[in-house]
Structure 1
Amino acid sequence: MRIAMVSEHASPLAALGGVDAGGQNVYVARLSEELARRGHDVTVYTRRDSTDLPDRVTLPGGAVVEHVPAGPPEPIPKDALFPYMPGFGTHLSRVWRRERPDVVHAHFWMSGMASQLGAHPHGVPVVQTFHALGTVKRRHQGRDDTSPTERIGIERQIGRTCERVLATCTDEVHELAAMGVSPRRVSVVPCGVDANHFHPGTDTADAPAREQRHRLLSCGRLVRRKGYDQAIRALTRIPHTELLIAGGPPADRLHSEPEAERLLQVAEVEGVADRVRLLGAVDPRRMPALMADADLVLCTPVYEPFGIVPLEATACGTPVVATDVGGHRDTVADGHTGRLVAPGDLAAIADAVRELLAHERKRRRFGETGRERVLARYTWQHVADGVEQVYRRTALGRELRTEVA
């Protein structure tokens, strides 16, 4: 199949850990790589954000990244990209007039907008993955939500008019239904994890030296909604334990990062500054060692559309304590691979962590079960199987309707 991936702000080439670079970048990169490995012709369309970028870049697996001129060729926060989506869509339409894809897979709502503009003139079916929904973001962030006011209405329109919505977790199906998108239009295929890269037995010699008996690890984008402050506050109830936070800019630039400064201040006020370390951006090659060295991985966001960190941790055989939100409800099997706790409940977070830290045998059992679960459900091969089936059904359904018409 000729597959067009559209990911307007999340390039598979981007360095991870920045404000707008995280799980979506990984998803697009790894899914594209796996589909190309299977012989599909895959092109990823992402916005040009630098004059130094070539027009096209071939990924190691054979997929191609094409940089689309849409707005100034410079970094722009994703919530400010909305005015450039019509131009993005016009570019796609021109490209697809010359070489029509069999299916378009749009990632994020603005990509969906551009994809529909580009695909409609040529009768190309669009599969939509939102990765995050505006209704959820607005519910949790309120006035702090910087999304364009048009977002929710456009998401609703996309969900009702695209050929298929490909959700990454079951919680998203319920959120979409509340927006008026019928569950019959939705298929659930989770995100995946590289189980060869993240695995138990990783050499942990490269991990930072321990300063306490136990080690907790939190990681991901250094943004407020990830709830690292909740992990820091819970640490006050967890003795002889240190917390490492990986993510954000490189360590030598953390001093100029507002969220890093805020977290360090929280640690100081709570009296645990000596047990909290911000590592900054960590080389992806070092992450398995960091996860394998931790006693527990702590994921405490106030909301999480999917959350790939629990999968990476359990692939390494490390149990997870996570908030009972969004995709965590799928990726963390409570009482089997980790614990789910109410978001914002510091006592519950601390209780779950202390319980597991006190029982090494249970942690080991959770880690083994988690690894088995990843291999059974969450490898990129499994993900690509599910996505491929959605593509084929979608393309076939469009062809059949065209013939009838």
Structure 2
Amino acid sequence: MIQKSAPFRSVLFVDHAPVLGGAEQSLLLLLQYLDRAEWQPHLACVPGQLADRAMRAGLPCHLFSLPRLRRSPRFAADGARSARQLARLARQVQANAIYANTVRAALYAAPAARLAKRPFFWHMRDFWLSETKPRHIRADTAVKRLLCASATQVIANSHAVAQQLPCAGKTAVVHNGIEVDKFDPRLDGRPFRAQHGIPEDTPLVGMVGRLRPWKGQLPFLHMATHILRQQPEVYFVVVGGANFAVEDDYARQVTHLAQELGIAGQVVFTGMLDDVRPPLAAMDVFVHPGEPEPFGLVNIEAMAMARPVVAFAHGALPEIVQNNVTGLLTPPGSVPALAEAVIGLLTDDEKRRQMGDNGRRRAETHFTIQRTAREVGKVMQRGVSR
């Protein structure tokens, strides 16, 4: 007997951010790689970089406004109106489920799913409701409990994030993935070095991340001073810029510290780059010096470029970097330990090469977007089949 394949299901994905952060980049890849024989994605988002990229990729994109979170009677009314709009949109596109990509999106998508009588999926990609640890932990936990209770299924992008969620029995861990085949370790890094005045034969240590305090640019510069005392020929590159005006003050603080430490001549600041592959190709060692990350996609990108990763052993990094195999994990917060790990790799070409090769293989087997899309599809399949 020939079995008919199941008809594809439509899903309304919701995101709140106008800028293209890590969560939005992961969402775009997910939408492009979901099996179209099973799923038809629709994206509801605010005008901005995410919407522009989605439309360029040919994804069905529906623009709407989401009120900013604040304590006021008006917010409650605006939030309820946004939830009704999302519910109406879900019916219009005949969505079988509503999927929130962020915490803020979930605050509107959860009531929308209830109004539309659709399953609700919540993808948690952060530790907290805010970007940094909140002052009021109880309030943060209370909102998480509410969203967990509303969700048909919760997806966490790491075990580190899952441990922060009060969603017993509902949480599935699905690591983020990238288009590994688009990262070629053979890419020539010399053009990037020439563009930024970095000698071809000089060791280069780098990091990538938005200019925000928790990304670790300041510890990176302090690490550089430790390294330069032993290896004065090393150069350093900081890839990343500011998305908002409020980040400009921190950017000035970072560049001022490089001058204050007397290392500005050997530190290159590239600003925001659309493509991180050229700087990764130019690096000998990649460093992730920030605070605990819920995931840290750029570490996978560095591994895909066959670059060893040196990072603090906290957050989701131990799930990504295999210590002494694909890189080195050091005690959290210890800048001297971070520096010693980098020096150890710079002085051992074979170890550096082997860790880079191991990282590439790990990216190919564990962190492809194809694998991520399959796993997310399985979670959604279970949810809509209930």
Q: Same fold (TM over 0.5)?
A: yes
- Asked whether the 8 Å contact 1:109–1:151 carries over to 2, the reply is no
**What is the aligned partner in structure 2 of residue 22 from structure 1?**
21
User: Structure 1: 5+ residue runs without aligned partners?
Assistant: 15-20, 72-77, 398-405
**What is the aligned partner in structure 1 of residue 5 from structure 2?**
none
Cα gap change, 1:88 to 1:151, in 2 (>3 Å)? farther
**What is the aligned partner in structure 2 of residue 396 from structure 1?**
385
User: How far 1:37 moved relative to its partner?
Assistant: 5.0
The partner residue of 2:65 within 53, 62, 69 is 69
**What is the aligned partner in structure 2 of residue 387 from structure 1?**
376
User: Structure 2: 5+ residue runs without aligned partners?
Assistant: 1-8
Q: Aligned pair 1:245/2:238, yes or no?
A: yes
**What is the aligned partner in structure 2 of residue 7 from structure 1?**
15
Cα gap change, 1:138 to 1:381, in 2 (>3 Å)? closer
- Asked whether the 8 Å contact 1:100–1:122 carries over to 2, the reply is no
User: How far 1:376 moved relative to its partner?
Assistant: 0.6
The letter of the residue matching 1:260 is A
State how far apart, in whole Å, the 2-side matches of 1:326 and 1:236 are: 25
State how far apart, in whole Å, the 2-side matches of 1:79 and 1:347 are: 40
User: How far 1:194 moved relative to its partner?
Assistant: 1.3
**What is the aligned partner in structure 2 of residue 44 from structure 1?**
43
User: How far 1:313 moved relative to its partner?
Assistant: 0.2
User: How far 1:370 moved relative to its partner?
Assistant: 0.7
User: How far 1:205 moved relative to its partner?
Assistant: 3.8
State the Cα deviation string for residues 132-190 of structure 1 (Å, max 9, x = none): 13279554x659x9xxx9554222210233111101111112222xxx321x2110100
Task: After TM superposition, list the pairs within 5 Å mapping 1:13-162 onto structure 2.
Answer: 14=19, 21-35=20-34, 37=36, 40-48=39-47, 58-60=55-57, 62-71=58-67, 83=75, 85-134=79-128, 139=133, 142=135, 151-162=140-151
Task: Give the total of aligned pairs.
Answer: 365
Q: Indicate the SS of the match to 2:241.
A: coil
**What is the aligned partner in structure 1 of residue 287 from structure 2?**
298
- Asked whether the 8 Å contact 2:287–2:309 carries over to 1, the reply is yes
- Asked whether the 8 Å contact 1:36–1:63 carries over to 2, the reply is no
State how far apart, in whole Å, the 1-side matches of 2:282 and 2:268 are: 15
State how far apart, in whole Å, the 2-side matches of 1:192 and 1:309 are: 10
Q: Indicate the SS of the match to 2:44.
A: strand
- Asked whether the 8 Å contact 1:131–1:305 carries over to 2, the reply is yes
Q: Aligned pair 1:187/2:169, yes or no?
A: no
The partner residue of 1:329 within 315, 318, 321 is 318
User: How far 1:312 moved relative to its partner?
Assistant: 0.2
State how far apart, in whole Å, the 2-side matches of 1:348 and 1:23 are: 28
Q: Aligned pair 1:345/2:334, yes or no?
A: yes
Cα gap change, 1:199 to 1:33, in 2 (>3 Å)? same
**What is the aligned partner in structure 2 of residue 402 from structure 1?**
none
Compute the RMSD of aligned alpha carbons: 2.8
State the Cα deviation string for residues 331-378 of structure 1 (Å, max 9, x = none): 111111111122321111011101111111111111111111111111
Cα gap change, 1:46 to 1:81, in 2 (>3 Å)? farther
The partner residue of 1:164 within 145, 148, 153 is 153
**What is the aligned partner in structure 1 of residue 6 from structure 2?**
none
User: How far 1:81 moved relative to its partner?
Assistant: 11
- Asked whether the 8 Å contact 1:322–1:339 carries over to 2, the reply is yes
- Asked whether the 8 Å contact 1:70–1:87 carries over to 2, the reply is no
State how far apart, in whole Å, the 1-side matches of 2:126 and 2:79 are: 18
Q: Indicate the SS of the match to 1:190.
A: coil
User: How far 1:49 moved relative to its partner?
Assistant: 5.4
The partner residue of 2:362 within 373, 376, 383 is 373
State the Cα deviation string for residues 224-280 of structure 1 (Å, max 9, x = none): 110110010011111222211111149xx99x9212110112212222222212110
Identity of aligned pairs, percent?
Answer: 22
**What is the aligned partner in structure 2 of residue 235 from structure 1?**
224
The letter of the residue matching 1:188 is V
**What is the aligned partner in structure 2 of residue 279 from structure 1?**
270
Cα gap change, 1:38 to 1:339, in 2 (>3 Å)? farther
Q: Aligned pair 1:221/2:224, yes or no?
A: no
State how far apart, in whole Å, the 2-side matches of 1:80 and 1:265 are: 34
The letter of the residue matching 2:167 is V
State how far apart, in whole Å, the 2-side matches of 1:352 and 1:226 are: 19
Q: Indicate the SS of the match to 1:70.
A: coil
User: How far 1:203 moved relative to its partner?
Assistant: 2.8
